[in-house]
Amino acid sequence: MATSIASGSGLLHLRETVYRGQGCKRAYFVSSIGIPKCIQKDLSWSHGVPKILRIHTSNRFQSLTNKSRHGHSRTAIISCLRDGSTKYFDFAVIGSGVAGLRYALEVAKHGTVAVITKAEPHESNTNYAQGGVSAVLCPSDSVESHMLDTIVAGAYLCDEETVRVVCTEGPERIRELIAMGASFDHGEDGNLHLAREGGHSHRRIVHAADMTGKEIERALLEAVRKDPNIFVFEHHFAIDLLTSQDGSGTVCHGVDTLNTDTQEVVRFISKITLLASGGAGHIYPITTNPPVATGDGVAMAHRAQAIISNMEFVQFHPTALADESLPIRPTKARENAFLITEAVRGDGGILYNLDMERFMPSYDERAELAPRDVVARSIDDQLKKRNEKARAS
């Protein structure tokens, strides 16, 4: 794709791929969900945004039913574009978590923004994050210490420049969130209460009880709704990026979405398209991620020939409740596992196996405060050695 940048002013400095629209005569893209059929359109550009679209397909719906290789029936709804179903924005942001919302607030200073989300705006991984956000806010702590902790926890595979930016700018990002209205816990001295979590050598976790992500999401959404340049489109499932070839590269001009309320395809044409669509936790049988975490953005990027990297690094949260072991079962099956926040271990929580043996010190000198990947592998090793299933205790 055209440019790879860090969405720098966000609370989380995640590397995102940004697709910059440029002038072209033709663009080809998938016109339906799961159906390898393409449509052709002519583009006329004005100031980088297409104004004339000629769609060479009929304006009607089709329903295709076919058999999968497992014998199950599968129905795909093909919805062609209707008049007035194309929208034009300077920026299109796919995803309504912390990365997408914070980016939208920043770029809204420079143009109109469409925030596209497949469920309600608050339904993101951000909303389910519990423990807190790390930032150097204590005089006895230092940015250098935070950087070292991060690099060590990342097995020395981190992008060191990204680590430097995140750790250096973290305190200011926290202050920005507070200015937006986010409410974090304070200690008796009136200062922010700082917790400690795995992999950290100091207490530097800013939190809102054990619902930090929910509070951050609330504050960001409130700021987004007040911004006249930002428009939120909920229940719009992103189908495919609209791309064309520009020399040896691929250029993105926006995204086709399915309005799941009306079953109509809505096209967003934009100068810049940002993928901030979250992870793919629900490709696994058990996950603490919400049901929306199905990796749609990664799949779209792959189909658009974007470079996909570091997909082997999937973080599994070490601790969650296993419903089958609870004395009182939930009234209905959970769509995601109930996460036990890492702050429990940060405040002295100890992990035991079923024989009430503490096992973490035998795996890592940091014991329960080792990084999450170390704790998760240790728990998995205990279960395999003892031929047990994960269960609550």
- What does the pLDDT look like over 21-60, one tens digit per residue? 333 322 323 222 232 233 333 333 333 333 333 322 223 3
Q: Tell me the per-residue pLDDT of 229-279, one tens digit each, with 9 for 90 and over.
A: 999 999 999 999 999 988 878 899 999 999 999 999 999 999 999 999 988
Strand pairing report for 15-20 and 3-6: antiparallel
Distance of CA 55 to the CA centre of its chain: 32
**CATH: 3.40.640.10, 3.40.120.10, 3.10.580.10, 3.50.50.60. Which one for 3-123+223-303?**
3.50.50.60
Contacts of 366 (CB under 8 A, 6+ apart): 198, 199, 374
Where exactly does CATH 3.90.700.10 map onto the chain?
Answer: 320-385
Across-strand partners of 6?
15
CB atoms within 10 A of CB 67: 9
Residue 372 annotated to the active site: yes
Where exactly does CATH 3.50.50.60 map onto the chain?
Answer: 3-123+223-303
390 pLDDT exceeds 60? no
Q: Which helix (H) or strand (E) holds 128?
A: helix 125-128
Per-residue pLDDT, averaged over 371-379, amounts to 92
Percent helix, strand and coil across the chain, each rounded to 5?
25, 30, 45
Q: Which helix (H) or strand (E) holds 251?
A: strand 249-259
Query: Per-residue confidence at 14, pLDDT binned at 50, 70, 90?
Result: very low
Q: Which two tokens stand for residue 208?
A: 């809102």
In CATH, what is the architecture of 320-385? Alpha-Beta Complex (3.90)
Across-strand partners of 43?
53
In the set 26, 173, 372, 377, the catalytic residue is 372
